[in-house]
Structure formats: structure tokens, C-alpha cells
Amino acid sequence: MNSDRSGWKSNIGFLLAAIGSAIGLGNVWRFSYMSFEYGGGAFLIPYLVALVVAGLPIMILEYGIGHWQKGSAPLSLARIDHRFEWLGWWMPVVAMMGIMLYYSVIIGWCVNYFCYSFTLAWGKDPEGFFFKQFLELSDSASHLGGLRVPIVFSTLLVWISCWAICFRDISHGIEKTSIVFMPILFVLTIIMVAWSVSLDGAGNAIINHYLHADWNKINLFASDPAKAKAAGEVWAAAFGQIFFTLSLGFGIMITYASYLPDKTDIVKNALVTSIVNCLYSFIAGFAVFGIVGFMAKSQGVPFDQAIKSGPQLAFVVYPKAISLLPGMNSIFGVIFFLMLILAGLTSGVSLIEAFACAVTDKFGLSRRKVVSILCGAGFAGSLIFTSRAGLYLLDIADHFITNYGLVCGGALECIVIGWVLKARILRSHINRHGTRLPAVWDFFIRFSTPAILVFLFSLTINDDLSKNYGGYHTDQLILFGGGWMLICLLLALALAFAPWKAGKLVRRHEPEEDELLV
Ligand code: PHE
């Protein structure tokens, strides 16, 4: 079956591609900022707990499904139970429409800033440069204000690069690219870390703000209810970050694992992917804290006023710090933005692959045709984020997709596999080769992981209903957040109801009860 399906040339190629998907823009700025905000070294505790009780079990689940059913998310889920094909579509649709459309624009910004680094074009006021000259940010999310031409060009370049990578089959495209890009990314990161920690003021910032643990911030049992509630938010954020950083809930890992050979150690691969990803975030944090510490010291401002959240960390704080460096400023900027471009591209192609593979699986179209149409349409779709309101729109889309779309996808995946299929059937498949998966995994998939995700979901809904996210107007949130999600859902349903090309939906062997290795 599926002998036409090409595959990874080597396990290391697969691992580098999966790690490439996991390591993205979020590892560099999202993790560092969260550590700072949520208790420094103490944040590692909820982060690691989230990794063990949700991240790893779902990573193994996704690898297991893809490897067992040898298909993209919709094909695999349809083979398991056709009633859940829509869920298989929901995940890659959210990946493509929900994330990639704006993720490509942020990689585009990195391309612009990579060029600006050569001349330190942001000058003395990087904040004014970013918002007023570069984005020309409009006054509200509903006021698009036309497209920003430099961003349109860089975004086009990003889509062309992704197209060139995804166009070829998996081993010649994504695998080869990852084998080249990922080692370069690791080397650049090590250079950045070594350089940053040697700067004046870096050591203090790292010790006092990054590694120093503020245990109160994670204490769920604090006697003061307000403190306990705040600690709850920290735990929720840690789970959200683990999901996002491991690229779970998009069907990406299902798709990547579908190209693996029969004899594969799934558990080991999942462990390596997750550990390398999280270690990368931790190490990259030294570079971020080092340089922000240096900047704070040279400007004589407290550290907590120097650091900023989200994109501002990369596009305002970093440029500011780069300009202050005693020498070789340009190289520092060039390396930093190149790092982001490489990390972003290897994540971007995985988002496209999850959707492209799903379409080729179902409709039997050629990969080249699907990827070309998808990248063309994707570029057109991302234009809205290159408008002068782009920053607002991507902030809203990101909030809804990561907090609702992803968490829903992950929870439903657990419920379908845990309850409808029965987790132990999948476990018995996973246990056919390599490291054995203990029975406690069933418990995670059936009970704890979905329960935690549902709890997270309710926390965010509660929060969003009590105050408008980011201070946006209600109609803007409904239109750009809720509306976006609704379009994704409708598209997923339409694709699920479309007929399969003959011969594509053949079920794979399901182990009999007495074959189960439980
Ligand atoms: N994991 C990537 C990051 O941390 C982002 C991403 C999410 C990529 C989902 C692909 C899918 O930045």
C-alpha cells in the first residue's frame, strides 16, 4: 500500500526536519520573554511539567498516528474512523490559513531587517523606525491603510523560498534543506550565545533575571487567592507554549511521521525532537538575556524596562542593542536575523507540507501542482498582513489560533485516539519497534492531557469574555479572530465532505485483540 509515497532518506533527516518545524521564531523570543515574565528559573518547572504530561504524550500520539496509517492528518484520521476526517482537515487548515499566512509575513520582516542590519538602517530610534517608518502602523485594526511595498516583496521572497523547498518530494526538498539549514542554525546560535554572554552586563542579567527563580509566581497553593490565580495563568501559559513550540495540533508531526519507514523507534524520535527543541529555547535565552542586560547596563535603565514582549523584542530591543555594541555591529545583526530566517523557514515549510500532503492524499493531484497553487494562494492571502494594520491583525489571529484552534485540535485528537480508537491499540503499534511506551501513556491521552487542555481553554475563554483581548474592539475581535476561525472550520468541513479519489481511502491493518502488546 502507498508504494508511491516517497520517504525520508535517513532518520536523522527526519529528525532535523521535525526539529526544524519545532524550532521557530517562538523559541527565540516567546520563550525568553515568558521566562522573564513568569518567574525566571521557576518557569522551567511548569514548562517541564507541561512537556512531560502534554507535549511528549501528544508528540508520540501524532508520530504514532502518522506512522501507523501512513498518511496526512485527514487520511490517517479517516482511515481510523471516517467520522473524524473533518478533524484531520481542521488541523492543517488552521496551520495553513491560521498560522502560515501571518508567519510568512513575520519571516518577511526578518528578511527586511536582515538587509537593514548591514547599514544599521534603524538609526537612533529603533522603536520609531519599526512602528512608523517600517510598518507605518495605522491607528486601528479595521483601518488597513494599503500595503507596505517592502514587506510585500520580502513576503513574496519567503513564499518563493517555501515553494522551491516544498515543490520537490520530501527527501529532496524538506529533508535536504533541513540537513543544510539546521546545522547552520545551531552554529549561528552558539556564536550568538557566546558573543552575548561576554558582553558587559550580560552575566548579571542572566543570573538575576533568567536563572533566578521566583517560586511565588508558580505557587498554585498560595494563600492569597489573587496570587494563586496569577500562578494559574503562568501554568496555562507554559502549556500553551509547549504546544506551540512543539508544533503540535497542526497535523504536521502526523504528516512527517507518515514518511517514516516501518521499523522506526517512535518514542525515541519523539524524545529527541522535544528535548532538542526545549534545550534550544533554553540556550537561546542566554543570548536574549545577555544582550538585553548589556543594553540595560549601557543605557542605565532597569532590566525590566529594557525587555519587551513579542515581536518588539526582535525588532525594537535587539536593533537598539546592536547599535550600542562597541564594534562589529552589523555582523551581530546579520547573524541574528539570519538565524530567525532559517528557524522561520524550516517551520514555514512544515506548515505548508501538512496541508499540501493532505490535498494530494485525498484528491490524488500532483504534489508540484498542489504546492504551486497553495504557495500562490498563500502569498495572496498573506497580503492582508502586509497592510498597515498587519501587526494588529496578526496579533488577533495568533491569539485565537494558538489559544483556541491548537488547544481544541490537540484535545480532540486525544479524545478520538484515547476513547474512540482506544489508546492501547495505537500503543501496541508504537511498541512493535524500539523503545517501549509504558501503559501510563494511555492515562495521559485519555484523561490528564485532554482535561488539562479543556481547563486551559476555559481559562482563556473566561479571560477573553471578561476583557477584550489586547484592548481591541469587540467587532474587530469577532471579525478577525472568530471570523477567521469560522472560515477555517467551514473550509475543513467542505474538504472533509468532498469525495475521495478512488482507491485513496484504504484502511490499514488494525491489530487484533490478541496481538495487543499490553
Ligand atoms: N514551533 C514554531 C515556533 O516555536 C512555530 C510553529 C507552530 C511552527 C506551529 C509550525 C507550526 O516558533
- Confirm whether 5 is domain-assigned: no
Give the rounded percent of residues in the chain with a pLDDT score beyond 90: 67
The answer, yes or no, to whether residue 513 has pLDDT greater than 70, is no
Ligand 1 neighbourhood includes 244 CB (under 6 angstroms): yes
- Confirm whether 517 is domain-assigned: no
H helix or E strand, kind and range, residue 196:
helix 176-197
Give the rounded percent of residues in the chain with a pLDDT score beyond 70: 97
What CA–CA distance (Å, rounded) separates 339 from 364?
36
pLDDT tens figures, 219-263 = 888 888 888 888 888 888 888 889 889 999 899 999 999 999 989
346 CA from centroid of ligand 1 (Å):
9
pLDDT tens figures, 277-288 = 999 999 999 999
Ligand 1 neighbourhood includes 351 CB (under 6 angstroms): yes
- Confirm whether 69 is domain-assigned: yes
The answer, yes or no, to whether residue 516 has pLDDT greater than 70, is no
**Atom number, ligand 1, closest to the C-alpha of residue 27:** 4
Q: How confident is the model at residue 22 (pLDDT cuts 50, 70, 90)?
A: very high
Strand boundaries in 358-515, DSSP class E: none
Q: What single string gives the DSSP state of each residue in 432-489? A: TSSSPPPTHHHHIIIIIHHHHHHHHHHHHHHHHHHS-GGG--HHHIIIIIIHHHHHHH
Q: Which of 19, 21, 242 to mutate to test the pocket of ligand 1 (most atoms within 8 A of CB)?
A: 21
- Confirm whether 3 is domain-assigned: no
Of the listed ranges 98-112, 147-161, 221-235, the least confidently predicted one is 221-235
What CA–CA distance (Å, rounded) separates 497 from 174?
30
Ligand 1 neighbourhood includes 25 CB (under 6 angstroms): yes
H helix or E strand, kind and range, residue 238:
helix 225-245
Q: How confident is the model at residue 508 (pLDDT cuts 50, 70, 90)?
A: low
Angle subtended by helix axes 329-363 and 176-197, to nearest 10: 150
- Confirm whether 6 is domain-assigned: no
Q: Mean pLDDT across the stretch 299-325? A: 90
182 CA from centroid of ligand 1 (Å):
15
| CATH number for the domain that contains residue 258 | 1.20.1740.10
pLDDT tens figures, 434-491 = 999 999 999 999 998 999 888 888 888 888 888 888 888 888 888 888 888 899 999 9
Whole-number Cα distances in Å, 109 to 22, 45, 247: 20, 33, 21
The structural domain count of the chain equals 1
Ligand 1 neighbourhood includes 196 CB (under 6 angstroms): no
CB 150 within 8 A of CB 156: no
What CA–CA distance (Å, rounded) separates 256 from 176?
14
105 CA from centroid of ligand 1 (Å):
14
- Confirm whether 56 is domain-assigned: yes
Q: How confident is the model at residue 517 (pLDDT cuts 50, 70, 90)?
A: very low
List the domain range (segments joined by +) for residue 43: 12-512
Sign of CA dihedral 374, 170, 247, 1: positive
Place of cell 494558538: 402
Name the amino acid, one letter, at 304.
Answer: D
95 CA from centroid of ligand 1 (Å):
9
Which amino acid residue places its CA nearest to atom 6 of ligand 1?
247
pLDDT tens figures, 132-149 = 999 999 988 888 889 999
Ligand 1 neighbourhood includes 21 CB (under 6 angstroms): yes
- Confirm whether 176 is domain-assigned: yes
What CA–CA distance (Å, rounded) separates 364 from 9?
23
What CA–CA distance (Å, rounded) separates 420 from 489?
22
pLDDT at residue 309, as a whole number: 81
Which amino acid residue places its CA nearest to atom 7 of ligand 1?
247
What CA–CA distance (Å, rounded) separates 439 from 445?
10
pLDDT tens figures, 341-356 = 999 999 999 999 999 9
461 CA from centroid of ligand 1 (Å):
23
- Confirm whether 51 is domain-assigned: yes
What CA–CA distance (Å, rounded) separates 405 from 408?
5
Ligand 1 neighbourhood includes 245 CB (under 6 angstroms): yes
The answer, yes or no, to whether residue 511 has pLDDT greater than 60, is no
CB within 8 Å of 83: residues ≥ 6 apart: none
Q: Measure CA 467 to chain center.
A: 26
